[in-house]
Amino acid sequence: MQYWLIKSEPNEWSWDKQVKEGESMWDGVRNYQARNNLKKMKKSDLCLFYHSVSEKAVVGIVKVTREFYNDPTDDTGKFVVVDVKASKKLEKKVTLEEIKKNIKLKNIALVKQSRLSVMPLKKNEWETIIQMSKIK
C-alpha cells in the first residue's frame, strides 16, 4: 500500500463533485514529476484529496481503482491518468496552515514542493494527517 496526496482547485473539481461522480479519472496533470507519480500508483492505493488555491485543506480520501493509462485530454500523448473513487470525507478538514505547524510534517512535499499536484506521502505523514482529521 502506498499513500498519496492529490490536489485540485475546488472550482475545477471539488470533493463534492468527486463524491457525486463516484469513480472518475484524475486527468489534466501536465507536470512531468506529477505524471511520474501517477505512473507509480497501484490499484487500492489511498490518496488524500486536497482543495488547493482558495481552501488549502485536505478534505477527503479517494482510492485508486485503475492504474495509469493515457490521458484522453492530452493531445501530445505524454501524460497519464488514474481512476479514483471517493472513499471517505474527513471529519475535520486539515488545513495547510495546520500541516505547516506540525513538526512531524516538516518535510512533506505539500510544504516543500507546493506547486506539485500529485505527491507521495510516507506512511507516518499519512497517519499524522489522518489523526489531525479526527478519523477513527
Cα 127 to Cα 93: distance, rounded to the nearest angstrom: 14
Asked if residue 135 has pLDDT above 70, the reply is no
Q: What pTM was estimated for this model as a whole?
A: 0.94
Cα 75 to Cα 95: distance, rounded to the nearest angstrom: 35
- pLDDT, tens only, 43-81: 999 999 999 998 999 999 999 999 999 999 999 999 999
> Which residue has 471539488 as its cell numbers?
14
Q: DSSP assignment of 63-112, as one string?
A: EEEEEEEE-TT-TTS--EEEEEEEEEEEEEEEEHHHHHH-GGGTT-HHHH
- pLDDT, tens only, 88-107: 999 999 999 999 999 999 99
Report the candidate in 69, 19, 66 with the shortest Cα–Cα distance to residue 44.
66
